[in-house]
Amino acid sequence: MIPDWVAERSAMVETQLRRRGVRDERVLRAMLEIPREEFLPGAEGDPSRVMAYQDEPVSIGCGQTMSQPYITALMAESLELAGTETVLEVGAGCGYHAAVLGALAARVVTIEIIPTLAKLARENLHRTRRDGNIQVVLGDGSLGHAELAPYDAISVAAGAPEIPATLLEQLNDPGLLVIPVGERWDQELRVVSKRHGRIDYRVATLCRFVPLRGGEGWG
């Protein structure tokens, strides 16, 4: 039997997000509306896609995962988006997080280093009609994307050994950057702000993301 996706989504928003303290109504609305199950690889209407609503990361192939819903919400909320911003995402994966950011900002560029996943993200965003203000780029996002810099907000979906200097350079002033920083499989989620040339950060939570590859990642 095919699950009731709308019911799955509203249960996720209530129990995993709102009850845990996610307050930004725009983030909650976006995650209530975006069909998360459509971003998993596999056949449309496949009941096993109900995995998309579990309270944990889900495999999307190529050894990568789609983040736990709560982490996606926390990251999106931390960027304080009002709707006018240009946002860079590093690590498109299946494109779900980009879809959430696309609902919150004016424009999103998301970079993915694995060609199969860049294609998956593009297809998913197109099929769900979320691609109007989202561009998927194949490349090494640890070096950002100079063409459209500076970005009002940057969201990094893979764990880095340090905050990549290039990303800080490509961040607008004022601007916010959210990124997991730490060991290869254990990080803290940092919310970094740039204001009047000053860089500060706070730690939002401890977390476990896949490693950031590339020039300013783990290689």
Question: Is 48 noted as a catalytic residue in this protein?
Answer: no
**Minimum CB distance to ligand SAH, residue 194 (Å):** 21
Give the nearest distance from C-beta 207 to ligand SAH in angstroms.
12
Q: Which chain residues interact with ligand SAH by CB under 6 A?
A: 64-67, 72, 90-94, 96-97, 111-114, 117, 140-142, 157-158, 210, 212-214, 217
The single residue of 10, 59, 67, 78 carrying the catalytic annotation is 67
Residue (28 or 92) nearer to ligand SAH, CB: 92
State which residue, 28 or 88, has the beta carbon closest to ligand SAH.
88
Note the Cα 142 to chain centre separation in Å.
14
Residue 177 β-bridge partners = 154, 192
**What are the C-alpha distances in Å from 49 to residues 2, 3, 38, 40, 110?**
9, 9, 8, 7, 24
Residue placing its CB nearer to ligand SAH in the complex, 185 or 198: 185
Neighbours of 14 (CB within 10 A): 12
C-alpha–C-alpha distance, residues 123 and 119, integer Å: 6
Q: How far is the CB of 79 from ligand SAH (least distance, A)?
A: 14
Dist. CA 187–CA 171, nearest whole Å: 21
Q: Which residues are catalytic?
A: 67
